[in-house]
Amino acid sequence: MVHKNKILNFIINSTFEAILDQIDEIHPVDFLEALAEFEEDPIIVLSKLPDEYVGLLLDYAEDDEKFKLLSLFSEKRKGQIVSEMSSDELVDLLGSLDEEDKNAIINNMNVDDVEEVKELLSYDPESAGGIMATEFIAIKESYTVNETIEYLRTMAPDSETPYYIYVVDGFDVLKGVVPLREIIVSDPDTLIKDIMIEKIISAPVDMDQEEVSNIFEKYGFMAIPVTDHKGVILGIVTVDDVIEIMKEEYTEDMFRLAGLDEEEKISGSVSSAIKSRLPWLLVNLVTAILAAATVSLFENTIAQIVALATFMPIVAGMGGNAGTQTLTMIIRGIALGELSYENQKEILQKEISIGLINGLCLGLVVAMLGYFWVGSFAFGFVIGLAMFLNLIVATVSGYYVPVILKKIGIDPALASAVFVTTVTDVLGFFFFLGLATIMITSLI
């Protein structure tokens, strides 16, 4: 039942009872792919599906598709469907809507679900609380293994991760975790508190989602619990949510390094693309003017030694490339938590060493090129030294710019490239043309 060309035909031509019997064999992702190719009204197919499966489809659908699919149903069925969605996906859906559409959905939900959703919506959407799900299993530490198994038979089907059993005290304070395997192999009368793992890693409800993803990457967990300041378990974050976060964060960083809005889509409108790109192009124009102003200070020198104009882009361009290399590594280190207070001095020393070695190598190469091109040792020395100095500056700025921006609360991925490029262009021209001005009598 996984072939796309068979899925829709089966749904359209089968009774509700037959669909109910076989629907678990169709993965929601396969169904959504098949539905995307359906040329008729999708409600023809969706109306025949049980609410639980439609809720599952919405869980797997892209954020901008969730509401489109839900809008196809009547108001009554909307309430029934959203009650079947996982809490974290429902909150993502509601968080993307305007007040009118959000209230229309909430008004069709039952009272208990509304209270839970409103609490989840109160958390920062990029915090542990904002991405957690409330479908988890928690048992009392006083339970026996047998009592736990009986409890799991009723609760596990509604849980996000039935293989992690969290243990709490009488006040719902998290005390530990019991792997499902341990419950299966233990004697029925064994107390849960005797087999639970007490040292458990959890995420505070206000922890940033990037820090949460770093925990998953470090320990390889499938899920981690989320707690309040008293240690009460509020929900869990699962690995599928973290994968989505990593995808979003890396996409955001990639777009911002290019001066683009992460919300821009390839199929978006011309106006939205201009709104996303034009502001940063204007910022780049300002920095280009600054570089041009630096060049204008040495117009007399360039007029006397025309070859300088040929080699200027080489010095500035190589500095920009070297700065971007360091910048990319530092931004990645900041995002993944690899750059810390303890190792920042060591990393800076490493980057400076790289800048010195690369500067020396490229400086020698471009010095020889300058000598053979112009036929002057002095010219080769000037461009070689300018290249050496600019690569050191590029490396240092590639390190310090994102670190400083992070400390003052600005996203390093958003603004670092502009500043580093400005530094390498302006100082590259200044080193090259300044040295040429100092040594002009040897160059003419």
**What CATH architecture does domain 138-237 belong to?**
Roll (3.10)
Of 13-22, 70-79, 350-359, 404-413, which gets the smallest average pLDDT?
A: 404-413
Work out the average pLDDT over 118-137: 88
Residue 8 identity (one-letter amino acid) = L
The pLDDT score that the predictor gives to residue 176 is 92
Work out the average pLDDT over 192-217: 90
**Is the separation of the CB atoms in 322 and 361 below 8 Å?**
no
The pLDDT score that the predictor gives to residue 195 is 92
Work out the average pLDDT over 360-376: 90
State the pLDDT confidence band at 399, using cuts at 50, 70 and 90. very high
The pLDDT score that the predictor gives to residue 260 is 57
Of the candidates 296, 315, 284, 329, the one whose C-alpha atom is nearest the C-alpha of residue 387 is 315
Q: What mean pLDDT, rounded, does the chain reach?
A: 85
The pLDDT score that the predictor gives to residue 179 is 85
Encode pLDDT of 287-336 as tens digits: 888 888 888 888 888 888 888 888 888 888 898 889 889 988 888 888 77
The pLDDT score that the predictor gives to residue 396 is 93
Work out the average pLDDT over 196-202: 90
The pLDDT score that the predictor gives to residue 361 is 94
Q: Enter the pTM of the model.
A: 0.62
Work out the average pLDDT over 228-248: 86
Same fold: 4-125 with 138-237: no
- Distance separating the N- and C-terminal Cα atoms of the chain: 80
Whether residue 358 has pLDDT greater than 90: yes
More confident of the two residues 340 and 42:
42
Token readout for 71 is 């809008």
State the pLDDT confidence band at 174, using cuts at 50, 70 and 90. very high
Work out the average pLDDT over 280-292: 82
Whether residue 157 has pLDDT greater than 70: no
The pLDDT score that the predictor gives to residue 216 is 87
The pLDDT score that the predictor gives to residue 41 is 87
Percent of the chain residues topping a pLDDT of 70 = 91
The pLDDT score that the predictor gives to residue 263 is 57
Work out the average pLDDT over 423-437: 90
Whether residue 402 has pLDDT greater than 50: yes
Work out the average pLDDT over 438-444: 81
The pLDDT score that the predictor gives to residue 271 is 75
Encode pLDDT of 46-103 as tens digits: 999 999 999 999 988 887 788 889 989 888 888 888 888 888 888 888 888 888 888 8
Give the domain ranges of the chain: 4-125, 138-237, 270-443
Of 193-207, 285-299, 362-376, 405-419, which gets the smallest average pLDDT?
A: 405-419
Encode pLDDT of 36-45 as tens digits: 888 888 898 9
Distance, in Å, from the CA atom of 33 to the CA atom of 14, rounded to the nearest integer, reads 20
Token readout for 109 is 């939900």
The pLDDT score that the predictor gives to residue 1 is 44
The pLDDT score that the predictor gives to residue 395 is 93
Is domain 270-443 annotated with CATH 3.30.230.10? no
Distance, in Å, from the CA atom of 386 to the CA atom of 431, rounded to the nearest integer, reads 5
Is domain 4-125 annotated with CATH 1.25.60.10? yes
The pLDDT score that the predictor gives to residue 88 is 84
More confident of the two residues 291 and 266:
291
